[in-house]
A and B are shown apart, each in its own frame.
Chain A
Amino acid sequence: MTPTFARKLNVIFLIMICIPLIGAYTIQFGRGEFPCPLCLLQRLAMLGIACGAMMNVRYGIRASHYGMCMISAVLGACISTRQILLHIVPEPGNTGYGSAVMGMHLYTWALLIFIATILILGVVFLFDSQFESKEATSKTRSVPALGAVAFWLAFGITVANVCTTFLECGFKQCPENPTSYLML
């Protein structure tokens, strides 16, 4: 795998990790469901993965950039596992947080995404030829148009989350079961 090809794969990966974040917004505004604190932390972990992929696109392929993705994916997997365990035994009145999408709740989908990310990173690590020297990756380099689109998409989603999280939680700790936007 050449460094150029690996950068292209990171552009695709950056776009793909944005898809569940857009999906979460679709549920939030389409169905009027409010994200809980653990849901927001899972979004943050996905944005952490996006950060690592973005660094690979901007500077070139480095193991440290993949490390950023790996740390975020493991943290996200821990958070989503915790949320699955909270609802693993359905009780009357406790059938999980939010509505299911294609048979599974969003936190279950999130765990699958984090596990898939770890697996993909493991496979990508098998290709030594993609890695470049520190000198070669110390400065920014030109990014293809699709790479720029991917960055602005990820950055836009992050800024949108800043706004909606502030509207939902304000300056206080986010409620465990939010039912309205505190700032509206």
Chain B
Amino acid sequence: MMTLLFILFATSMWLGWHGKRKPAIFVFLVTIALCAFWFKHHATSELHIDL
């Protein structure tokens, strides 16, 4: 999964550099959404803090 996220960012950069602006932004937004999902997936352990 993590490798896929890096591949998606590389794809976004490549598309953006080669004139595909809208697809680049679309891939970027998909990647950010997946990053947020994967962050939530990994943030499972309880924090020992009193807020």
> Which residues of A does B touch, CB under 8 Å?
37-38, 40-41, 44-45, 47-48, 50-51, 54-55, 58-59, 64, 68, 71-72, 75, 78-79, 82, 85-86, 88-89, 138-140, 151, 154-155, 158-159, 161-162, 165-166, 169, 173-174, 176
Which residue of B has the minimal Cβ distance to A55? B16
Given A75-B35, A165-B2, A166-B3, verify A59-B21 contact (CB < 8 Å). Answer: yes
Q: Which residues of A contact B47 (CB under 8 A)?
A: 85-86
Contact partner, A155, options B1, B13, B35, B43, Cβ 8 Å = B13
Given A71-B32, A85-B49, verify A51-B5 contact (CB < 8 Å). Answer: no
Contact B3 A38 (CB under 8 A): no
Q: Which residues of A contact B38 (CB under 8 A)?
A: 37, 41
Give Cα A48 to B34, complex, Å: 12
Contact A158 B6 (CB under 8 A): yes
Give Cα A82 to B40, complex, Å: 10
Query: Can you list 11 contacts pairing A with B, beta carbon distance less than 8 Å?
Result: A37-B42, A41-B2, A44-B5, A50-B13, A54-B16, A71-B32, A75-B35, A86-B45, A86-B47, A140-B18, A158-B10
Given A37-B42, A48-B28, A59-B21, verify A155-B10 contact (CB < 8 Å). Answer: yes
Contact partner, B12, options A38, A51, A78, A159, Cβ 8 Å = A51
Q: Which residues of A contact B24 (CB under 8 A)?
A: 51, 55
Q: How far is the CB of A111 from chain B (nearest CB, A)?
A: 14
Contact B6 A165 (CB under 8 A): yes
Q: Which residues of A contact B28 (CB under 8 A)?
A: 48, 51, 68
Q: How far is the CB of A95 from chain B (nearest CB, A)?
A: 15
Which residue of A has the minimal Cβ distance to B38? A41
Q: How far is the CB of A7 from chain B (nearest CB, A)?
A: 14
